[in-house]
Structure 1
Amino acid sequence: MALSNADFRRMIAETRETAARPLPPLTLPDRMPARIERDLSRPAPRENRDVRTIEIVWTTAPAPSGSRLLGGLALVAKVLALPALVAGSLVAQPAYECHKQKSRGMLYYGTTVQMCVNDRLAERAGSVQAMLGRSTRAM
């Protein structure tokens, strides 16, 4: 059975759709019949009755292994890793310093660790804002 261009295009179109149906194996002859009459001046080749065939088996792609949930969690972890590291590095040092001050009794009366951390972060934001203001004025 020879595979025509229309059959090949139909197979490609079916595989690109979401519903992939399994196809039967295709069998193609190894040699195509001559379309032009043989030249009589040349001797005719000896006919070989043993016809070899090439078999093409068209199957659907295997399902991806692993859980979709794990793949989704890995993607979320990759996307959120950098912002989490940046935010953690900004908050980690003031939180450590405020906890150390509390353990040594160095916080003002009624001041909590959270208030101390917020104050330190506000100081940092103010210093960054002042630095940006100076650099824009310099430009």
Structure 2
Amino acid sequence: MAVTNADFRRMIAGSRGAVAEALPPLTVPDRLPHRFEPASRLPARAEPRTIEIVWAPAAPAGGRWLGGLATLAKVLAVPVLLAGGLYARPVYECHKQKSHGMLYYGTTVQMCVGERMAEKVESVQAFVNRQMRAL
């Protein structure tokens, strides 16, 4: 059983839950280069072809809460991953030093992490100062 173009457009609009009727098809001329018959250099007679594009209304946005939560998670994930990436290495190194007994007497892991973070900030400040002097 063949489906006509009008039936196809109604089927597309119905599957998307559209209230409005689908727009009529847009006919675009075929832009293939001219073909030549092999025996002569005369253009071959080709049947005119058209390309039919079916326009249908967009599907209604379902699950707006889910999309909003996904966007919020993406926005909040960047600062969390950045802070975690900067903070994770000093914490790991300090816990490793503690487990091997390499921390000074009375030094806690939290103090060690604070010292490491201060060293990072100082190195970044020194880098910025060098760059500013170079300009």
Q: Which runs of 5+ in 2 are unaligned?
A: 1-18, 20-57
Q: Which runs of 5+ in 1 are unaligned?
A: 1-21, 23-60
- When normalised by structure 1's length, the TM-score is 0.51
Q: 104-113 or 94-103, which moves further after superposition?
A: 104-113
Q: Which amino acid aligns with 2:103?
A: L
State the identity as a percent. Answer: 63
Q: Does 1:83 align with 2:55?
A: no
Q: CA deviation at 1:81?
A: 2.0
Give the length in aligned residue pairs.
82
Output aligned runs, 1:1-20, within 5 Å: none
Q: CA deviation at 1:63?
A: 5.6
Output aligned runs, 1:1-139, within 5 Å: 64-66=61-63, 68=65, 70-139=66-135
Structure (1 or 2) with the larger CA radius of gyration:
1
- When normalised by structure 2's length, the TM-score is 0.52
- Deviation readout 1:50-72 (Å, 9 max, x if unpaired): xxxxxxxxxxx97632261x333
Q: Which amino acid aligns with 1:87?
A: A
Q: CA deviation at 1:116?
A: 0.7
Runs of 4+ residues over 3 Å off in structure 1 = 61-64
Query: RMSD of the alignment, in Å?
Result: 2.5
- Distance of 1:82 and 1:107 partners within structure 2: 33
